[in-house]
A = this chain, B = another copy of it.
């Protein structure tokens, strides 16, 4: 058995479990711990290191969930086979290219012509699919499509299969602090469809409050509903509730964990104010779009607003399109009981938009731990990109202010030089082969409140090397 001597620093900022985890991980990555090798038992290692056993448990669990080691019942923990470890230099150029192109069209709001010379695209919608476990997905699909599962070809429940809803409710509870029973969940093929259903529940021609800037797609959808959209200003804590109070609206659309595009995380105080506002009238609701809460770089994940709501005021909407893959057309919404009753009365006849086969595949993917493992891997990958980007941006700090950098897959650069316009920044970047995105795209109302030129830099879909090269080009363009 491998000698597990390691130096633990008790008074460092780093947890003991983290130190153990990192030590073993590096041993595996460095080839000093070989695949198939058995790790010491948690009891033995705890004794050896003179620490509590639960600390070792915790470290092993982390390694397991990230796929470095596996647990074999009655036998212990073993190092996983190396080919299962994430490849570092997988060639995904083709994929990335296509994905990026698609994500451009997605917003529908590509402003102006696309320069053919763009080599680096800092799209805030880009995702990295290079480490997606395609083979796992394939295996699960294959197992499910065997003859014993013919009932999956029948139409499922309108709200989604109970198995999947149970899995989602457990996931939401443990990861997002959402309190709901599976009965409150409605599964649908994408957020857009769920919003279409929600329109039937909230009623027509209602007023809805949105921040400015906000998520343009949601804005477009609400506008296609003929909703009266009332713009409410935001400060560094999110939507201003004072201002909200002056508007005749029935619902407010917010992204408390990570506002798009500003990256603002709504603090608990503002959340309580919003809930208080919603609680003052029977028919007031908050729509919480928790679109990318999985990716956070500083501190623990921020719990969902829904978890703090005790009065049935929050409609929580989430999606697997970002955390798994855009092709996974599965979103879900958690309805407060009052709206659930309305849904069951007025919308029960809308058939499910997700095939039972796809629901089952997703369910197995989550239940068998692949989702968590994949999330851990993507978090790690995005964190690396994020850190690299921040590092590369150091020389920009004199001329630019960086914000929204604690979570998500993009950050904002605001130019301190008031003479430079956003348009100029975009054009200068494009001239150097780099596409960045103007914050003004996300403004839903002409505004004079944000005179400073601000651009979005997304890094999810870019490779490490591309980030460095792209920022190098931006230096030439802007500094």
Spell out A's residues near B (CB within 8 Å): 10-18, 21, 50-55, 57-58, 61-62, 64-68, 70, 80-87, 90, 92, 94-96, 98-100, 102-103, 105-109, 129, 132, 134-135, 137-138, 141-142, 145-147, 150-157, 159, 179, 181, 183-184, 189-193, 196, 200, 204, 216-217, 220-221, 224, 226, 237, 265-273, 276, 298-300, 302-303, 307-308, 310, 321, 325-329, 337, 340-341, 344, 346-358, 406
Residue of B nearest to A359 (CB): B327
Return the contact of A349 from the options B108, B142, B154 (Cβ within 8 A). B108
List, sorted by A's number, 16 A–B pairs whose CB atoms are closer than 8 Å: A10-B10, A70-B267, A80-B269, A82-B272, A84-B272, A86-B272, A86-B307, A95-B150, A95-B154, A95-B181, A98-B337, A102-B341, A107-B348, A134-B146, A200-B224, A329-B353
A355 pairs with B329, CB closer than 8 A = yes
Contact B276 A84 (CB under 8 A): yes
Taking the closest CB of chain B, its distance from the CB of A51, in whole angstroms, is 5
Please judge, given known A-B contacts A138-B145, A267-B80, A276-B84, whether A183 and B92 are in contact too, CB under 8 Å: no
Minimum CB–CB distance for A174 against chain B, Å: 16
Q: How far is the CA of A114 from the CA of B389 in the complex (A)?
A: 63
A65 contacts B181, CB within 8 Å? Answer: no
Which residues of chain B are near A62, meaning CB under 8 Å? 299-300
On chain B, the residues within 8 Å of A340 by CB distance are: 99, 102
Of listed A67, A87, A298, A337, residue having the most chain B CB within 10 A: A67
B residues in contact with A55, CB < 8 Å: 11-13
Kindly state the separation between the CA atoms of A454 and B456 in the bound complex, as whole angstroms: 65
Residue in contact with A153 in the complex, picked from B13, B268, B327, CB distance below 8 Å: B327
Residues of B within 8 A of A353 (CB): 189-190, 192-193, 329, 353
- Which residues of B sit under 8 angstroms from A325, Cβ to Cβ? 153-154
Which of B54, B80, B154, B267 touches A326 (beta carbons < 8 Å)? B154
Q: Which B residues lie within 8 Å of A329 (CB)?
A: 189, 351-355
Separation of A189 and B139 alpha carbons in the complex (Å): 25
Q: How far is the CA of A58 from the CA of B190 in the complex (A)?
A: 36
A129 touching B108, Cβ below 8 Å: no
3 cross-chain pairs, A with B, having the tightest CB-CB distances, nearest first: A67-B267, A13-B54, A67-B268
* Known contacts A12-B55, A189-B189; A86/B310 CB under 8 A: yes
